[in-house]
Amino acid sequence: MKTGFFAVAALAAAVGACTGSKPVAWDEAAIENARVQMGMQIDTVESLAGEFHNPTTINPDGSVHYCEVTDWRSGFFPGAVWYLYELTGDTALVPYARKYTEAVAEAQHLKWHHDVGFMVGSSFGNGLRLTGDSAYADAMVEAARSLSTRFRPNAGIIQSWDVDPGSEREAKGWTCPVIIDNMMNLELLFEATRLSGDSSFHKLAVSHADRTLKEHFRPDGSCFHVIDYDSISGDVAHRHTAQGCAHSSAWARGQAWAIYGFTVAYRYTGNPDYLQRAVGTFEFMKAHPHMPADKVPYWDMDAPGIPDEPRDASAAAVIASALYEMSGCPVGDDKATAYREYADSIMQSLSSPEYTAAPGENGRFLLKHSVTSKPAGVEIDVPLNYADYYYLEALKRRRDSSSI
């Protein structure tokens, strides 16, 4: 493959866009910017010797961090290349999207954490959707089999994290922790039933969603991050956090996963309770007195130092993408319009220089200002590949829903 091709082609297109007489709409400029920035990222990845280098975030020294295939984030860069292909129609991207997807194939066999849905859905799932490649369908079903091994019938849920002897999780008294993020892994199970005809995957997903609906949410519509179940009785043992500022706080990305995850569960089941859950948690976020004017949440809505706390662009991108889908669901005409406008507002903020990096900066990631875990002191106010992934997905969903 020809190193340097993408950056040169994309820069030429971007210069053309800027110097032409017609003003460029924010969404077109965002796609063109993504083509430039990701073109440079692809050129960089292609220039590195050895195994696939999978861009994930930046290290404290400013260098790019490339993750291992077992990292929960390993599917997002391949998936972002698929979305860039879809947004630009540039078929030159397809061999790269395929190569990066196939480089994370090992993820389909992973059984020691729950994130195989994120990993394989974002990479193989998008590849399947766009190419119809039956080998990609096989990878999805195999990944669903791997995820199913984590189902715990006593609690009716899929266990998120293992609890190793001597670990911090064990010290917290956890035996079977489930995080709200796990709602995002259910799409893989729903898809696996659609692809294979084996209804067992769908049933596990429904069981997990039902128990999560019952246990994870507070009366105000927000959700806990971690529900730890007693692995023997299946009862709730702890309602905790891992990445939020307090057990009782509203960790922003957790709220985003809940909104998105229950919208997906509604898509596959038609269960109105799931849609109501997504609506309720979004309404909580929308009405929150700490929601900033630009609609990019603080990393935790209850962070003690607000307004001097980092934002989380990844949470904003996930919420925007979910809202474009929710606006096509039976939420009522007024809400549908309001949700789309809210999503547009988030996307315009994210597409502004405050959050979108200048070409060549920010480790060649699209968005600035996300947070992995402030309590752990890990990756605070950095780019994250999943912020970029959901941002591109939101751009695509916005475009798709405009043309209906």
- Which residues are annotated as catalytic? 115, 181
Nearer of residues 108 and 255 to ligand GLY, judged by Cβ? 255
Q: Which two tokens stand for residue 51?
A: 């195994």
Which residues are CB-neighbours of 321 under 8 A, at least 6 positions away? 260, 343, 390, 391, 393, 394, 397
Q: Of 72 and 389, which CB lies nearer to ligand GLY in the complex structure?
A: 72
What is the closest distance, in whole angstroms, from the C-beta atom of residue 240 to ligand GLY in the complex? 15
Is residue 255 near ligand GLY by the rule CB under 6 A? no
CB under 8 Å to 261, separation ≥6 — which residues?
Answer: 180, 182, 183, 184, 186, 209, 278
Considering the complex, what minimum distance in angstroms separates the CB of residue 37 from ligand GLY? Answer: 23
Q: Which of 27, 71, 181, 325 binds ligand GLY (CB under 6 A)?
A: 181
DSSP three-state, residue 217? strand
Which of 146, 281, 372, 385 forms a contact with ligand GLY (CB under 6 A)?
Answer: 372
Q: Is 86 in the site for ligand GLY (CB under 6 A)?
A: no
Shortest separation between residue 184's beta carbon and ligand GLY, angstroms: 8
The total number of residues written for the chain in this structure: 404
Q: Which is nearer to ligand GLY, 7 or 209 (CB)?
A: 209
Q: Which residues does 343 contact at the CB level (< 8 Å), separation at least 6?
A: 319, 320, 321, 323, 324, 327, 394, 398
Q: How far apart are CA 219 and CA 402, in angstroms?
A: 35
In this complex, which beta carbon is closest to ligand GLY, that of residue 253 or of residue 374?
Answer: 253
First to last CA, the chain: 37
Cβ 117 to ligand GLY, closest distance in Å? 11
- Is residue 295 at the binding interface for ligand GLY, with CB under 6 A as the rule? no
- Residue of minimal Cβ distance to ligand GLY: 181
Q: How many residues bind ligand GLY (CB under 6 A)?
A: 5
- Does 253 bind ligand GLY (CB under 6 A)? Our answer is yes
* DSSP letter assigned to residue 351: T
User: What residues are paired with 356 via a beta bridge?
Assistant: 367
DSSP secondary structure of 149-163: TTEETTTTEE--B--
- Whichever of 72 and 274 has its CB closer to ligand GLY, that residue is 72
Do residues 223 and 260 make contact, with C-beta atoms less than 8 angstroms apart? no
Query: What is the contact mask toward ligand GLY in residues 33 to 72, using x (rule: CB under 6 A)?
Result: ---------------------------------------x
List interacting residues with ligand GLY (CB under 6 A).
72, 181, 243, 253, 372
